[in-house]
Amino acid sequence: LVLLMPTSLILYELAGADPNLRFSPHCWKTRMALAHKGLEAERRPWRFTEKEDIAFSGQGLVPVLVEDDEAVSDSWRIAEHLERRYPDAPSLFGDESGQAVSRFINSWADSVLVPAISRVILLDIHGVIHEKDRDYFRSSREQRYGMRLEDVVSDRAARLADLGRALAPLRTTLRQQSFIAGERPLYADYCAFGPFMWARCASTTELLAADDPVFTWRERLLDAFEGLARSAPTTQAA
Ligand SMILES: N[C@@H](CCC(=O)N[C@@H](CS)C(=O)NCC(=O)O)C(=O)O
């Protein structure tokens, strides 16, 4: 057995005005994946407009993981990289079919969960990011949504109800098992948990009712890895 110890692991993570506020949903997937594998990375804060600092990765989004001389971008590709590179550490997917099914969960999280949560917290995100990022964030998001940030989140009760409906498949599953992956969390769980950490870190709005099985599942993941996620800095209530 040869244990591969990384000589260096660096993770570029989206940060707020407060460099310790790390709220990106996709970076959270990667943080949980690293913890699952028992790995530690040097976590570098990165802002939306610091494109040149990650230009070496050939694209402009985080997370970017740099292992020795190799840069890997996209949270899904990072998870696959870690699984390949650290086969003897706990598996992120269970097996090949687990990996295939996790891809669906990741796609669901990115295409349904992230948009539904953003309709609640988008303006809060604008409030926590660095001042130098604000014009870029506002104009890029307003173009994406075709409306002002204020209008994206204007009907909070309706948007929370939409989110509640979008969570139905997750809720139904978690009525019957502790985690998406079964008795223990795997990467599929982190795919769905990342967007909740995004909301927890950047917003003070509670997305879930305390009697929702999704709430209980989120609590379990907040406690995982000795409370890694629970102890992460969040924006403070005004
Ligand atoms: N599919 C990518 C998405 C990454 C992504 O959208 N990252 C956001 C932060 S959450 C970002 O870097 N945004 C920079 C920008 O919008 O310019 C992944 O899963 O890693």
Atom of ligand 1 nearest to the CA of 29: 19
Whether the pLDDT of residue 5 is over 90: the answer is no
User: Quick check: 4 pLDDT over 90?
Assistant: no
Mutate to test the pocket of ligand 1, among 22, 26, 65 (most ligand atoms within 8 A of CB): 26
Work out the pLDDT band at 6, boundaries 50, 70, 90: low
CB 10 within 8 A of CB 65: yes
Residue 15 CB less than 6 A away from ligand 1 = no
Q: Does ligand 1 come within 6 angstroms of the Cβ of 217?
A: no
CB 155 within 8 A of CB 69: no
What's the whole-number mean pLDDT along residues 180-205?
Answer: 98
- Rounded to the nearest angstrom, the distance between the alpha carbon of 176 and the centre of ligand 1 is 32
For residue 236, the model assigns a pLDDT of 79
Residue 73 CA: which ligand 1 atom is closest?
20
Range 69-85 average pLDDT: 97
Cα 62 to ligand 1 centre (Å): 5
H helix runs in the chain, sequence order: 25-36, 75-85, 96-108, 114-128, 134-145, 149-152, 156-166, 168-174, 187-202, 213-227
Q: Give the list of residues 6+ apart from residue 28 with CB closer than 8 angstroms, or none.
A: 22, 190, 193, 194, 197, 198, 229
Q: Are 170 and 195 in contact (CB under 8 A)?
A: no
What is the CA(75)–ligand 1 centre distance, in A?
9
pLDDT band at 2 (very low <50, low <70, confident <90, very high): low
